[in-house]
């Protein structure tokens, strides 16, 4: 098959009806200091395109709320008023916190560059919201998702991707940047990826994932362009986009009868909670996930407790109702 041809026996890669996490962003003209900061994030911090797009939206809101005032003139009370407006407008505490984080980073950089003397966002906090635990599949649901035989070349590729997600706890952006060879690739039962803030980490690849990857590599040549370095390619032969990976996973889960929407980060959450349930080693899970702080990983202890509580309720003779 020539590069770019469609496999006549494959399922079409049609997008399912799921909104993409990112898309066209109508932006006002951003001031030079913001554009310089975005360049810094993209080229020095190596932030992902998804992160940059989110920051653009957050900075567009800041410019809009400033209503023509220079960013250098904003004070603590101005930022607090912006937060109050966002909250009154129905923005969730989680989204406000993310917006403040973007603004805080911008002003921190401006202070460091000598363009401002103080950071007006430094002490501003978002309203408190209910703590949301990450959603994870049960071990049985994970098995139902990944067991089965692929029916065509594209499904061989999909199974390799999803096994690798679950086996190694990768982020969507990390899996999307993997290459066939080189530093960011799967070698010697390990996978090396670029994590957040441009940091690399190496994590193990399990047996099921290795088998699925070997099956994919055996047929990849049928659709990949001759000079394409990406490990996972579309039926057109080029690197598979993150949006298509999300859509293919949702389609895969629907075809296997899972009653919930499955997204890539859910496989990362499932990896973390299942490893923690089996090992109880929070530090190891932190390293595998690439979290800078153990506090970020500790959310999975709550998932683990939920699992233990269910076991207790089902097994303890004094916990069962009516006994």
Cβ within 8 Å of residue 88, ≥6 positions away: none
Is 196 designated active site?
Answer: yes
Angle between helices 93-112 and 32-43 (to 10 degrees): 90
Q: Do residues 44 and 88 make contact, with C-beta atoms less than 8 angstroms apart? A: no
Q: What is the distance in angstroms between the CA of the first residue and the CA of the last residue of the chain?
A: 66
Our answer to whether residue 300 is catalytic in this structure is yes
The conformational region for residue 227 under phi > 0 = left, psi -120 to 50 = alpha, else beta, is alpha
Q: Are 170 and 161 in contact (CB under 8 A)?
A: no
Antiparallel, parallel or unpaired: β 186-187 and 190-194: antiparallel
What are the E-state strand segments in the chain? 186-187, 190-194, 200-204
Which residues in 138-276 belong to E strands, given as ranges? 186-187, 190-194, 200-204
Q: Which of 157, 246, 274, 291 is catalytic?
A: 291
- Structural contact between residues 218 and 157, judged by C-beta atoms closer than 8 angstroms: no
Catalytic entry in 55, 107, 166, 171 = 171
Contact present, 132 and 237 (Cβ < 8 Å) = no
Kind of pairing between the strands at 190-194 and 200-204: antiparallel
Do residues 305 and 136 touch, judged by C-beta distance below 8 A? no
Residue 166 catalytic?
Answer: no
Q: Which two tokens stand for residue 126?
A: 């978002």
Which residue's structure tokens are 């190496």? 202
> Exactly one of 45, 50, 108, 196 is catalytic; which is it?
196
The catalytic residue among 99, 220, 246, 268 is 268
Concerning whether 45 is annotated as a catalytic residue, the answer is no
Main-chain dihedrals φ then ψ at residue 201, nearest 5 degrees: -145, 155
The answer to whether 98 touches 58, Cβ cutoff 8 Å, is yes
Active site annotation includes 115 = no
Residues 95 and 88 sit within 8 Å (Cβ to Cβ): no
Residue tagged active-site, from 55, 107, 166, 300: 300
Q: Is 7 helix (H, G, I), strand (E, B) or coil?
A: coil
Catalytic residues: 171, 196, 265, 268, 291, 300
């Amino acid at each position: 098959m020539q590069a770019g041809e469609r496999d006549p026996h494959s399922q079409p890669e049609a997008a399912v009806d799921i909104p993409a996490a990112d898309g066209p962003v109508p932006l006002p003209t951003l001031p030079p200091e913001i554009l310089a900061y975005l360049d810094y994030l993209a080229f020095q911090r190596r932030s992902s395109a998804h992160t940059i797009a989110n920051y653009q939206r957050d900075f567009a809101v800041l410019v809009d709320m400033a209503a023509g005032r220079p960013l250098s003139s904003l004070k603590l009370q101005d930022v607090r008023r912006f937060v109050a407006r966002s909250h009154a407008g129905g923005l969730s505490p989680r989204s406000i916190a993310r917006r403040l984080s973007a603004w805080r980073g911008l002003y921190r950089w401006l202070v460091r560059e000598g363009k401002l003397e103080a950071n007006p966002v430094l002490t501003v906090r978002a309203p408190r919201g209910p703590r949301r635990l990450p959603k994870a599949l049960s071990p049985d649901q994970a098995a139902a998702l990944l067991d089965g035989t692929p029916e065509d070349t594209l499904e061989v590729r999909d199974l390799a991707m999803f096994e690798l997600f679950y086996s190694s706890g990768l982020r969507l952006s990390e899996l999307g940047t993997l290459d066939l060879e080189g530093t960011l690739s799967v070698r010697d039962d390990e996978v090396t990826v670029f994590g957040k803030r441009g940091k690399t980490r190496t994590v193990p690849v399990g047996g099921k994932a290795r088998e699925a990857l070997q099956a994919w590599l055996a047929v990849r040549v049928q659709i990949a362009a001759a000079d394409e370095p990406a490990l996972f390619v579309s039926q057109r032969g080029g690197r598979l986009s993150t949006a298509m990976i999300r859509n293919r996973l949702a389609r895969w889960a629907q075809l296997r009868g899972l009653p919930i929407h499955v997204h890539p980060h859910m496989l990362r959450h499932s990896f973390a909670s299942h490893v923690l349930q089996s090992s109880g080693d929070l530090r190891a899970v932190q390293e595998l996930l690439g979290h800078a702080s153990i506090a970020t990983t500790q959310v999975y202890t709550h998932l683990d407790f939920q699992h233990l509580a269910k076991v207790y309720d089902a097994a303890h003779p004094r916990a069962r109702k009516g006994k």
